[in-house]
Structures are given as structure tokens and as C-alpha cells.
Amino acid sequence: MRRVFILVLFAVLVAANGTAQSGRRNINPPPPSAPVVESPVYSQPERAPVASEAPALRALPDDLLKRQLKSLDQGSFRLADFQGKVIVLNLWASWCGPCRMEVPDYEKVRKEYAGRAVEFVGLTPEDPRTSSDRVKKFVRDFNFNFHLGWADRETAMTLMNGRSAVPQTLVIAADGRVVSHWRGYAHSQSGDRLREAIDRALSDAPASAQRFQ
């Protein structure tokens, strides 16, 4: 009987010790986890808006027609001064290679239309404060006999219609409508293209010549 009691007591002690050890394992804190490193978040750069070509300039705005433009000879004039006439408006620069080839062709056309209701105007976007001597030399060298003046920044931007390049040519009907507008110089074609545009503008009856007044 005593032997049985001792065996039972031993079994109870073993079970109690196992339970105590199991409890100690459960209360031990878990090993520390690896630190979480947050990656910096970079937003995608916004795409720049795609520049679309400006719509064609169909007519000269009234404020441009009535704007005072400084002449090369220190006087001034307005495009509105040429009311009732077709206007050939050439944008050029003294440093422009194609302009040097275009001006002689355009001068031939100008002489052909002498006495007709056509006014030939040449505007340069150069700065008169720094380019006056060079511009005047260009005019002398090429016998450039258009009605010549300086195009201020706003005037040049409007006439160039988003394309800051020279040469550019506009043929404007008597009512202010832009009949034709082109950029660049085409060898042996430039004069014919100008004649065709002038004839088309002359054949159109002015719808509102008083716009220029």
C-alpha cells in the first residue's frame, strides 16, 4: 500500500513540474521581429500638356489693325491706314538667310503691282535699340522698298500665330481677312505663290472696309 502511494505521489509531482515549465514557456516574450523600413513614396511626375498648334489666324484683330507701329524712319503707321487695300505683310529679320533670298523675289512682285490697291508691308521683330544699324544696312543692300517697320513683341506673337520663325508672309484682304499665311521660303516658288494670293485677295469684294477706319 505504501509503495502504491509513493508511485502516485511521484506521478503527481512530475505532472505538476511539467505544467509549471509549460507555463513559463508560454509567458516568455516572442523574439523581436525585424524592423519595418518604409520605402519613400515618389509620386509620378505630371506630364506636361501637349502643345497643340494654334488655329489658323483668319482675320487680324481690331486692336492690331489700329496699333501704332514704329517705322524704320522713326515715324509710325497703322495697318488700318491702308484701308481698302490688300496688304502683303512680310515678317523678316536681318540675320535671316532665307529672307535674303526672299526679298528680291518679293520686290519683283511689288513692282508688278505698282498702282494697284495693294500695300506691301515688312515688319522685323528685332530690337530697334540694338539692331537698328544692321537692319538699315539690310534694307540698303537688298533695295527693300516695302513699308518697313518694327514689330513689337505682342504684334509679332499675334502675326506669327504661335510659330516664332521668319520669314512669314500674310496676304490680307481689304476687309481684314487673312487670305493666305505661310512660313519659310521656297526657291523659285515664292514669287508665284505671292502673286496667286494677291490676285485671290483682289478678286474678293471687301465685305467691310470700314473695319480699318
- In this prediction, residue 74 has a pLDDT band, given cuts at 50, 70 and 90, of confident
Assigned domain for 135 exists: yes
Q: Does 204 reside within a domain?
A: yes
pLDDT for residue 205: 55
Is position 44 within any domain? no
Q: What is the pLDDT of residues 33-65, one digit of tens each?
A: 443 322 222 222 233 333 345 678 899 999 999
CA distance readout (Å), 91 to 15, 123, 191 = 106, 5, 15
pLDDT at 38: 25
Q: Where are the alpha helices (DSSP H) in 43-185?
A: 62-65, 97-112, 128-141, 153-160
Give CA 78 to chain center in angstroms. 26
Tens of pLDDT, residue by residue over 103-149, are: 999 999 999 999 999 999 999 999 999 999 999 999 999 999 999 99
| 3-class secondary structure, 29 | coil
Mean pLDDT, rounded, for 13-24: 48
Residue of higher predicted confidence among 25 and 152? 152
pLDDT value of position 55: 75
4 pLDDT exceeds 70?
no
Q: Is the pLDDT of residue 82 over 50?
A: yes
Q: Is the pLDDT of residue 30 over 60?
A: no
Q: What percentage of the chain carries pLDDT values higher than 90?
A: 64
The CATH number linked to 110 is 3.40.30.10
155 touches 57 (CB < 8 A): no
What is the spatial distance between Cα 148 and Cα 143, in angstroms, rounded to a whole number? 12
Residue 54 lies in a domain: no
* Among 155, 172, 169, 180, CA closest to 84: 172
pLDDT of residue 162: 80
28 domain-assigned: no
Q: Would you say the pTM of this structure is higher than 0.85?
A: no
Total count of domains within the chain: 1
Q: Give the pLDDT confidence score for residue 188 in this predicted structure.
A: 86
The pLDDT score that the predictor gives to residue 49 is 34
- Residue 23 domain flag: no
Asked whether residue 94 is domain-assigned, the answer is: yes
Query: What residue type is assigned to position 172 of the chain?
Result: I
| Mean pLDDT to the nearest integer, 93-107 | 97
Tell whether 190 is covered by a domain. Answer: yes
Range(s) of the domain holding residue 157 = 62-212
